[in-house]
Amino acid sequence: MTKDDKQTEEKIFTAATDVFEKKGLAAARMQDIADKAGINKALLHYYFRTKDKLFLAVFDKLADKMFRKFASIFERDMPFEEKITYFFKEHMTFLQKNPRLPMFILAEINRNPKLIELFLTKVNLNRIKERIAGDIAGKLPEEAVPHLLVTIISLSVFPIAAKPILEGILRTGGINYNDFIEERKTVAPEFIIRMLKQSAIESDEELQSDNKNHQ
């Protein structure tokens, strides 16, 4: 309640975020968190009861952070191609500043499937889907939307989530990881836009030759 309460709780939360993001739940140590927060272990338990509860608080916050950024970009009002270009620039820059965030979310959900439920409460997919359905109206069949979305996420998230390994591989080829990621902010949206153009061409050509049905 008091000012000091808030400060201590925040210091703990910040330190815990740091440690959990870097090490994950299983490898994180309460002692490390206490040290980093400049207090002692007992105080951690005073504020958050158990390691699990502290972890959940951190996961909740980070899951929210992860999804909010994603959604906020997609809800912007601009032409679709422009939006894709904007998305990669904005989202990858965000991930560059939070390089451990995607891997943290992915790894922890992978280890504890119950966390998905928590994550999904953060995700309001309907709004995004409607947005995109409107954006691409006429450009792509509606069934293609999930594939387009997964393509976008894969291209944006994977090169950051796999940073250490990609960094190593690129280095052996004489390429600097950060430079590469900078390039990718423009290369990736170009990929997608080219694909969409080509897709339009093809659907023109094959207009009425394809009438398979899908439920």
Partner DNA sequence: GTCTATAGAAGGATAGAC
Partner DNA sequence: GTCTATCCTTCTATAGAC
- Binding of residue 125 to a copy of itself (CB under 8 A): yes
- By CB under 8 A, the count of residues binding a copy of itself is 57
Q: Considering only CA atoms, which of 88, 63, 96 is closest in space to residue 156?
A: 88
Residues in the chain: 215
- Binding of residue 162 to a copy of itself (CB under 8 A): yes
Contact partner, 208, from DNA, a copy of itself, none, Cβ < 5-8 Å per class? none
Q: At what angle do helices 177-205 and 163-172 cross, to 10 degrees?
A: 100
38 vs 168, beta carbon nearer a copy of itself: 168
Longest dimension (CA), the chain: 71
| Among the listed residues 11, 18, 24, 56, the single contact to a copy of itself using CB under 8 A | 24
- Binding of residue 136 to a copy of itself (CB under 8 A): no
90 vs 159, beta carbon nearer a copy of itself: 159
Report helix, strand or coil for 185.
helix
Taking the complex as a whole, how short is the minimal distance between the CB of residue 38 and DNA, in angstroms? 7
Q: Considering only CA atoms, which of 169, 184, 14 is closest in space to residue 95?
A: 184
Provide the CA 188 distance to its chain's centre, in angstroms: 16
Residues 38, 81: Cα–Cα separation, whole Å: 48
- Binding of residue 50 to a copy of itself (CB under 8 A): no
Contact in structure between 166 and 183 (CB atoms under 8 Å): no
Residues of this chain that interact with a copy of itself (CB under 8 A) are: 23-27, 100, 103, 105-107, 109-111, 113, 116-117, 119-120, 123, 125, 129, 146-147, 150-151, 153-155, 157-159, 161-170, 172-173, 175, 180, 183-184, 187-188, 191-192, 194-195, 197-199, 202
